[in-house]
């Protein structure tokens, strides 16, 4: 996941751990040689990164400036005689942006998105606006930005590491397997899944298995946040 900063100077660009306390909890329940959090790439405010990032992290005070960039483009486009369908969508976006609603939260229908497909908007992605108090606690802010940016994690536990793997919400088990290694994805047989709630309730992976809380899922299973997973695959 790539997060682009806008109007924020207190966070250093680079790789940041997503220190979700649930991984700490899992690490206490299952012994492993090390613990690895999910990570995000935080990049400084650059034009290209603002457009290509998965999410934008800004402050409440800088949010207006970000939305103004989109509003200026919309108003320019409207002034150049946009056709009826495009014009209607742009007018709707202008109204939203004036009300400080990012483009990505307007809820455009597929046909409306098609009408403006040729345009790039800075706020047509998750925009996380932080209060001053949150900026003083960047580790917690990274967890919030990760979640509101449309990402979740799944866990693999035991042995060499207890690890949280970042994936987009809505990812299938087959695609999740590929985030670990393409060989696992190619040879996918099934995913052995324990929900995080069951994992905690029964004191870890072994207890959950004994309580028959592990279930078998196929390629099309939609991963849930903090599923504890063991992928079976042909080598």
Give the pLDDT confidence score for residue 9 in this predicted structure: 84
Q: Is the pLDDT of residue 82 over 90?
A: no
Give the pLDDT confidence score for residue 212 in this predicted structure: 97
Statement: 170-233 belongs to CATH 3.30.70.20 = no
Q: What is the largest CA-CA distance in the chain?
A: 67
Give the pLDDT confidence score for residue 126 in this predicted structure: 95
Give 195-227 pLDDT, tens digit per residue.
Answer: 999 999 999 999 999 999 999 999 999 999 999
Class of domain 2-19+38-147: mainly alpha
Average confidence (pLDDT) over 110-120: 92
pTM of the model: 0.89
Asked whether this chain's domains 2-19+38-147 and 170-233 adopt the same fold, the reply is no
Give the pLDDT confidence score for residue 123 in this predicted structure: 94
Give 47-58 pLDDT, tens digit per residue.
Answer: 888 999 999 999
Q: Is the pLDDT of residue 171 over 90?
A: yes
Give the pLDDT confidence score for residue 148 in this predicted structure: 95
Domain spans, the chain: 2-19+38-147, 170-233
Give the pLDDT confidence score for residue 83 in this predicted structure: 87
Quick one: 80 exposed, middle or buried, by C-beta within 10 A (0-12, 13-18, 19+)?
exposed
Q: Is the pLDDT of residue 15 over 90?
A: yes
Quote the Cα angle for 209-211-217, to 5°: 50
Quick one: 119 exposed, middle or buried, by C-beta within 10 A (0-12, 13-18, 19+)?
middle
- Tell whether the torsion through CA atoms of 177, 178, 182 and 187 is positive or negative: positive
**Parallel/antiparallel/unpaired status of strands 38-43 and 32-36:** unpaired
Give the pLDDT confidence score for residue 48 in this predicted structure: 85
**pLDDT above 90 as % of the chain:** 87
**pLDDT above 70 as % of the chain:** 100
Give the pLDDT confidence score for residue 198 in this predicted structure: 98
């Amino acid at each position: 996941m790539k997060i682009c900063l806008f109007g924020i100077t207190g966070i250093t660009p680079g790789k940041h751990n997503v220190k979700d306390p649930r991984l700490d909890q899992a690490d206490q329940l299952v012994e492993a040689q090390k613990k690895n959090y999910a990570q995000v790439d935080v990049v400084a405010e650059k034009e290209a990164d603002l457009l290509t990032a998965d999410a934008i992290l800004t402050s409440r005070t800088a949010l207006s400036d970000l939305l103004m960039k989109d509003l200026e483009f919309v108003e320019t486009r409207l002034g150049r005689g946009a056709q009826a369908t495009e014009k209607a969508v742009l007018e709707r976006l202008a109204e939203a942006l004036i009300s400080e609603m990012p483009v990505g939260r307007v809820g455009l229908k597929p046909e409306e998105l098609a009408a403006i497909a040729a345009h790039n908007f800075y706020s047509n992605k998750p925009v996380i606006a932080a209060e001053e108090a949150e900026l003083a606690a960047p580790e917690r802010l990274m967890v919030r930005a990760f979640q509101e940016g449309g990402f979740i994690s799944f866990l693999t536990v035991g042995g060499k590491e207890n690890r949280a793997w970042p994936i987009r919400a809505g990812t299938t088990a087959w695609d999740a397997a590929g985030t670990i290694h393409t060989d696992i994805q190619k040879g996918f047989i099934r995913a052995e899944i324990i929900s995080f709630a069951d994992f905690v309730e029964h004191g870890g992976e072994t207890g959950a298995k004994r309580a028959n809380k592990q279930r078998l899922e196929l390629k099309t299973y939609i991963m849930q946040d903090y599923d504890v997973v063991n992928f079976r695959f042909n080598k």
